[in-house]
């Protein structure tokens, strides 16, 4: 007892002194791994960007809905007033350039062209009018005066054939306006421009005028510089090619490797994505936020009859998770009574991902094929998950095994999205993909996992200018 | 000079100045603890780093029942024990069978003057199991039952590890 106390006291007394330390060097080695405001800022920026994207999407969606809302034609007094104006001499029909704008608009009521067009229209027994618009018409500015003049022209055109029969308060019917729009659109492909010129704030915009990208196959022009907002959801059978053992080979128990392939079922995930897509003709850039759950089963039966002898006894250094390398030179003890351990375990990991995708849309009737590629930032967490310790073969907490796991993953991916238009705005899709991690999984596992699989699900999307 | 409360609040807000102040406050004592539980200076630095990361993550839960430095040192000890537990199955397999040997006091002379460098050097030469038990029993004042519970070993194993550890230390510091 005396001996015990003396050693203990000697140790205690020794450790009352302080060991020499270089605090500056120590701090410099520790500081980079500590939580910092900048990390929080990065997260805040990501969240802010995601919220902004969603907010922008909703705002544009609402704006788009308001734009396409139908107002009763009769209630539009502005149009009635315009229609009530007496048609003046032909020279007043010249559309004057807006002096206040620097636009290159040069809209003329060319008598010759108008006559020719009217003849054509009259031949079709139509009351439609004609507008000849220069190709270099700007989409940027449209003054009220131009609208007014155009409407005057419109009225003149409509009234031209029936001027004598028309009542004083005659106005174009919705059908007439639609007919006019369809003709004018052939002349100027800029449908949005025409929509504003013809309908402006004066009349109801018929539903067909809205530029909903419903995959009709003829909207390539309309899709230029437009937006799509969508929600997709589905299931995703997939596989991880770069299995964990690639990076853990020196560390794992023999039986772990042997049983791994027998006992682990394929990866399966399901989730949803909110996204926003900006179109540039047929090209697009897309981002959003997705959340999906990865799950897989572990079913193992281990006969623990070999126990490796490791530790610093052999001069080894532990890894970041406190585990020592095992290799061909590692001695194993043969246990006299092998221990049978059976596991049936489900691992569930939630992943939030923010992708940035570039792609190209190919439309074939109701089909749409979109090859794309991009990068994604994701962060994950395991829910009550347990897994097999690759050295002790014990069932342990997932986060304990991956003590220093990197849950912030940057990955690159490529995919081919094949969609079929089921109904207005609703698509069914299949999306084979290939995704590779660009950073390491953890300090221990120096590998970059490869995932590949296929997303199968529904995609609801709305387009807007 | 920041007060303890200001340091805590600063660390919660990830303020680098507060983190540095906390480091300055406790690094010497913590360094001693980490050196006691590690094989090398490099391991001690890793343990210290792990400890600080945990401290900064959990500092919001500090209740003030003990001094801040004691609380941080207890986290270091827990981290060291946690690391040890992960390897206990293999490390202790050849230690369970150790026979308690009667230590002959007469074989050794008086202990030298306490010296931290010598103590660290001696501890590093011990197998990890010995070192862990000796540290917990002699310095942290754990009972054998507490050690057995914390490390998942039997009380008998704890006692045998302690006896062997003391003997080894005795041999090292009194070696003639």
Q: Is the pLDDT of residue A213 over 70?
A: no
* Pairwise CA distance, residues A273 & A287, whole Å: 10
Q: What percentage of chain A exceeds 90 in pLDDT?
A: 11
Cα angle, residue A55 at apex, residues A53 and A61 outer, rounded to 5°? 100
Return the number of CB contacts < 8 Å for A and B: 138
Whether residue B120 lies within 8 A of chain A, CB to CB, comes out as yes
More confident residue, A17 or B136: B136
Nearest CA to A331 out of A347, A319, A313, A343 is that of: A313
Please answer yes or no on whether B89 and A307 come within 8 Å at the CB atom.
yes
Quote the pTM value. 0.38
Q: What is the pLDDT of residue A95?
A: 38
Q: What is the pLDDT of residue A17?
A: 83
Per residue in A74-88, pLDDT (tens digit) is 444 444 444 444 434
Name chain B contacts of A30, Cβ cutoff 8 Å: 23, 45, 48-49, 52
Return the residue of A nearest to B18 by Cα: A36
Q: What is the pLDDT of residue A447?
A: 57
Q: What is the pLDDT of residue B104?
A: 46
> In A124-215, which residue ranges form alpha helices assigned H by DSSP?
144-160, 174-187, 191-198
Please answer yes or no on whether B111 and A7 come within 8 Å at the CB atom.
yes
Q: What is the pLDDT of residue A172?
A: 65
Residues A296, A265 contacting (CB under 8 angstroms): yes
Quote the minimal CA–CA distance from A451 to chain B in Å.
30
A398: left (phi over 0), alpha (psi -120 to 50) or beta: alpha
Mean pLDDT of chain A: 64
Name chain B contacts of A35, Cβ cutoff 8 Å: 14, 53, 56-57
How crowded is residue A263: how many other Cβ atoms within 10 Å of its Cβ? 19
Query: Closest partner residue to B20 among A27, A324, A394, by Cβ?
Result: A27
Query: Closest partner residue to A308 among B52, B86, B90, by Cβ?
Result: B90
Angstrom CA distances, A118 to A31, A183, A197, B6, stand at 80, 12, 20, 84
Query: A343: helix, coil or strand?
Result: strand
Query: Closest partner residue to B94 among A2, A15, A309, by Cβ?
Result: A309
Q: Is the pLDDT of residue A320 over 90?
A: no
Whether residue B29 lies within 8 A of chain A, CB to CB, comes out as yes
Among A158-172, A349-363, A444-458, B81-95, whose mean pLDDT is lowest?
A158-172
Please answer yes or no on whether A35 and B166 come within 8 Å at the CB atom.
no
Average pLDDT, integer, range A172-191: 63
Whether residue B94 lies within 8 A of chain A, CB to CB, comes out as yes
* Pairwise CA distance, residues B149 & B143, whole Å: 10
Q: What is the pLDDT of residue A359?
A: 94
Average pLDDT, integer, range A220-230: 64
Residues B153, B92 contacting (CB under 8 angstroms): yes
* Pairwise CA distance, residues B69 & A336, whole Å: 48
Mean pLDDT of chain B: 80
Please answer yes or no on whether B169 and A7 come within 8 Å at the CB atom.
yes
More confident residue, B78 or A22: B78
* Polymer length of chain B: 176
Name chain B contacts of A341, Cβ cutoff 8 Å: none
Per residue in B105-156, pLDDT (tens digit) is 455 667 788 888 888 888 888 888 888 889 999 888 888 888 888 887 778 8
Query: Closest partner residue to B93 among A15, A20, A307, by Cβ?
Result: A307
Quote the minimal CA–CA distance from B12 to chain A in Å.
10
A384: left (phi over 0), alpha (psi -120 to 50) or beta: left
Among A17-21, B40-44, B86-90, whose mean pLDDT is lowest?
B86-90
Q: What is the ipTM of this complex?
A: 0.85
Q: What is the pLDDT of residue A270?
A: 84
Nearest CA to A231 out of A165, A185, A275, A279 is that of: A275
Query: Closest partner residue to A27 among B23, B115, B119, by Cβ?
Result: B23
Q: Is the pLDDT of residue A446 over 50?
A: yes
More confident residue, A96 or A192: A192
Per residue in A352-403, pLDDT (tens digit) is 899 999 999 998 888 999 999 999 998 877 665 666 676 666 777 766 665 4
Q: Is the pLDDT of residue A206 over 80?
A: no
In eight-state DSSP terms, residue A312 is: G
């Amino acid at each position: 007892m005396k001996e015990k106390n003396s050693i203990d006291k000697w140790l205690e007394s020794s450790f009352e002194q302080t060991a020499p330390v270089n605090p500056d060097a120590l701090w410099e080695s520790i500081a980079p791994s500590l939580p910092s405001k900048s990390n929080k800022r990065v997260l805040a920026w990501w969240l802010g960007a995601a919220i902004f994207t969603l907010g922008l999407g909703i705002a544009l969606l609402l704006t788009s809905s308001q734009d396409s809302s139908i107002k009763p034609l009769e209630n539009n007094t502005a149009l009635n007033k315009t229609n009530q104006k007496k048609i003046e001499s032909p020279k007043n029909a010249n559309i004057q350039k807006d002096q206040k704008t620097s636009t290159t608009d040069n809209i003329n009521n060319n008598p010759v062209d108008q006559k020719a067009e009217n003849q054509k229209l009259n031949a079709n027994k139509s009351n439609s009018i004609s507008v000849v618009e220069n190709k270099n018409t700007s989409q940027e500015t449209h003054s009220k005066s131009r609208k007014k003049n155009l409407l005057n022209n419109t009225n003149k055109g409509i009234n031209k054939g029936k001027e004598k029969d028309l009542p004083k308060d005659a106005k174009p019917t919705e059908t007439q306006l639609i007919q006019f729009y369809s003709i004018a659109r052939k002349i100027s492909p800029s449908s949005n421009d025409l929509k504003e010129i013809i309908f402006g704030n004066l009349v109801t915009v018929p539903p067909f005028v809205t530029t909903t990208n419903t995959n009709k196959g003829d909207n390539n022009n309309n899709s230029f510089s437009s937006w799509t907002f969508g929600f997709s959801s589905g299931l995703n059978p997939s596989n991880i090619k770069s299995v964990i053992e690639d990076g853990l080979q020196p560390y794992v128990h023999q039986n772990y490797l042997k049983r791994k392939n027998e006992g682990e079922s394929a990866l399966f995930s399901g989730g949803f994505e909110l996204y926003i897509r900006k179109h540039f003709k047929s090209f697009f850039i897309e981002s959003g936020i997705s959340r999906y759950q990865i799950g897989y089963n572990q079913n193992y039966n281990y006969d623990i009859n070999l126990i490796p002898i490791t530790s610093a006894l052999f001069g080894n250094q532990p890894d970041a998770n406190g585990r020592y390398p095992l290799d061909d030179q590692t001695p194993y003890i043969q246990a006299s009574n092998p221990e049978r351990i059976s596991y049936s375990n489900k691992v569930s990991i939630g992943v939030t991902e923010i992708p940035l995708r570039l792609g190209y849309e190919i439309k074939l009737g109701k089909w749409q094929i979109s090859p794309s590629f991009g990068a994604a930032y994701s962060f994950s967490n395991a829910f009550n998950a347990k897994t097999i310790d690759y050295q002790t073969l014990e069932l342990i907490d997932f986060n304990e095994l991956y003590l220093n796991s990197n849950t912030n993953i940057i990955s690159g991916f490529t995919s081919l999205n094949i969609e079929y238009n089921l109904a207005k705005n609703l698509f069914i899709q299949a999306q084979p993909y290939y995704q590779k991690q660009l950073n390491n999984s953890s300090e221990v596992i120096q590998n970059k996992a490869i995932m590949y699989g296929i997303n199968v699900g529904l995609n609801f999307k709305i387009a807007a200018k | 000079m920041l007060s303890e409360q200001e340091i805590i609040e600063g660390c919660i807000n990830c303020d680098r100045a507060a983190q540095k102040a906390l480091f300055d406050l406790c690094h010497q004592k913590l360094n001693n603890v980490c050196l006691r539980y590690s094989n090398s200076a490099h391991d001690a630095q890793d343990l210290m780093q792990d400890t600080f990361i945990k401290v900064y993550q959990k500092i919001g839960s500090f209740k003030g029942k003990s001094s801040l430095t004691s609380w941080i040192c207890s986290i270091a000890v827990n981290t060291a024990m946690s690391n040890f537990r992960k390897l206990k199955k293999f490390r202790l397999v050849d230690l369970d069978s150790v026979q308690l040997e009667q230590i002959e006091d007469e074989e050794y002379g008086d202990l030298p003057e306490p010296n931290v460098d010598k103590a660290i050097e001696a501890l590093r030469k011990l197998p990890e199991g010995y070192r862990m038990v000796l540290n917990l029993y002699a310095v942290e004042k754990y009972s054998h039952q507490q050690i057995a519970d914390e490390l998942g070993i039997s009380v008998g194993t704890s006692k045998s590890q302690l006896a062997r550890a003391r003997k080894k230390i005795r041999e090292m510091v009194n070696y003639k």
